[in-house]
């Protein structure tokens, strides 16, 4: 079976180091080489120009003069703004010796970044929530014999190894809550590990395209040692992103599973290790790394994940004020549905 590898990286700032007492004037050709390499890479592989109505050629004429005028580290600001033009939560750049920076988090990610709190979630339990050894999931059984699994993300290499023990722990519950609100994405292998524990017959994946061509995937197959068939609520919000969204889209097709909460972040871009052309990470001449999606996924209805996200079956809005008051209305709704 041909597999995809979805890679997500996250923010935070820059670090600039100098070991010389006297600063050497930077080579002005390097920013231009970086700009040309970045612009061409994006031009060659980025899948959403038409969908987002981006005139990439016109942006070249806007940003080239800015690069020519940039002094030293000012190029990072120009690169930041150029990448932000894509309005894509998967796009990032990583300066040398620094953390990755996402120039454009999606509006729903910004809206919901403070509307979920695990510390508030914990108040609904009569005992401490368990955590898997690698931290990929937090889980416990709520009052009324309702299981709860919070999926941190799908990046952990040990996710598939940790999942069986977690599901065994909640096996005899009368209903289950899968909390995908903190799920910022990761690998499709971990999506498969999760969703195949809830299907009883083979099931097609949503469609994935790379460089404009459909990437065929072998249908999902039920995985043992048992299939959880009791009612399931998947909690989502604007911070559910990428593989967190595709896992939700798959699960909500099943008759016993309902998505509750708010529309997901809208991160439909993907990258694949299948070939050098479809890998997302790309190193510029100076050593700066950029990440550019080379493909995309579609929902089962044929619409994009990108920008549109995955809507809930039942909308339950939640605000930062609710969390500050110690309430998780989305979790409460799920508990009431499963009582």
- What pLDDT does residue 30 have? 86
Flag whether pLDDT at 7 surpasses 50.
no
Flag whether pLDDT at 5 surpasses 90.
no
Dihedral of the alpha carbons of 254, 185, 88, 207, in degrees to the nearest 10: -40
Distance CA 6, CA 322 (A): 33
pLDDT in tens, 221-273: 999 999 999 999 999 999 999 999 999 999 999 999 999 999 999 999 999 98
Percent of the chain with pLDDT over 70: 91
Element (H, E) at 115: none
- What pLDDT does residue 72 have? 87
pLDDT band of residue 2 (cuts 50, 70, 90) is: very low
Residue 47: name the closest of 270, 302, 217 by CA.
270
pLDDT in tens, 144-191: 999 999 999 999 999 999 999 999 999 999 999 999 999 999 999 999
**HSE, side-chain direction, 13 A CA sphere, residue 77:** 8
| Residue 74 DSSP SS3 | helix
- What pLDDT does residue 121 have? 98
Go through the domains of the chain in sequence order and give each one's CATH number. Answer: 109-269+294-338 (3.90.226.10)
pLDDT in tens, 20-61: 333 334 455 789 999 999 999 999 999 999 999 999 999 999
Percent of the chain with pLDDT over 90: 89
Give the pTM: 0.91
Enter the tokens of residue 308: 């549109």
- What pLDDT does residue 274 have? 84
Q: What is the DSSP letter of 101?
A: B
Distance CA 195, CA 338 (A): 20
Flag whether pLDDT at 286 surpasses 90.
yes
Q: Calculate the average pLDDT of the chain.
A: 92
pLDDT in tens, 103-116: 999 999 999 999 99
Quickly tell me which residue has 């931290």 as its tokens.
135
| Residue 251 DSSP SS3 | helix
């Amino acid at each position: 079976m041909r597999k995809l590898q979805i890679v997500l990286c996250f923010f935070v700032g820059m670090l600039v180091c100098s070991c010389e007492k006297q600063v050497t004037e930077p080579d002005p050709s390097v920013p231009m080489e970086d700009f040309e390499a970045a612009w061409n890479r994006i031009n060659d592989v980025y899948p959403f120009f038409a969908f987002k109505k981006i005139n990439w050629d016109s942006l070249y004429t806007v940003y080239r003069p800015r690069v020519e005028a940039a002094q030293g580290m000012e190029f990072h600001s120009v690169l930041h703004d150029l990448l932000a033009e894509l309005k894509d939560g998967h796009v990032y750049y990583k300066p040398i010796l620094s953390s990755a920076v996402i120039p454009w988090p999606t509006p729903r990610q910004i809206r919901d970044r403070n509307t979920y709190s695990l510390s508030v979630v914990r108040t609904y339990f009569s005992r401490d929530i368990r955590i898997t050894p690698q931290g990929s999931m937090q889980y416990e059984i709520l009052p009324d014999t309702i299981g709860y699994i919070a999926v941190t993300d799908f990046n952990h290499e040990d996710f598939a190894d940790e999942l069986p023990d977690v599901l065994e722990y909640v096996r005899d519950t009368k209903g289950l809550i899968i909390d995908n609100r903190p799920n910022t994405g990761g690998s499709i292998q971990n999506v498969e590990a999760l969703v195949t524990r809830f299907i009883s017959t083979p099931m097609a994946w949503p469609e994935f395209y790379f460089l404009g061509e459909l990437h065929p995937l072998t249908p999902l197959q039920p995985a043992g040692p048992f299939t959880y068939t009791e009612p399931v609520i998947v909690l989502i919000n604007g911070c559910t992103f990428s593989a967190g969204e595709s896992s939700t889209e798959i699960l909500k097709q099943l008759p016993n599973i309902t998505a509750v909460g708010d529309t997901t972040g809208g991160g439909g871009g993907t990258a694949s290790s299948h070939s050098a052309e479809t890998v997302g990470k790309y190193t510029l001449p100076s050593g700066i790394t950029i990440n550019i999606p080379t493909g995309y996924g579609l929902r089962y209805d044929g619409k994009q994940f990108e920008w549109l996200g995955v809507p809930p079956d039942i909308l339950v809005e939640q605000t930062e004020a609710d969390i500050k008051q110690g309430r998780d209305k989305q979790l409460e709704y799920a508990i009431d549905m499963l009582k």
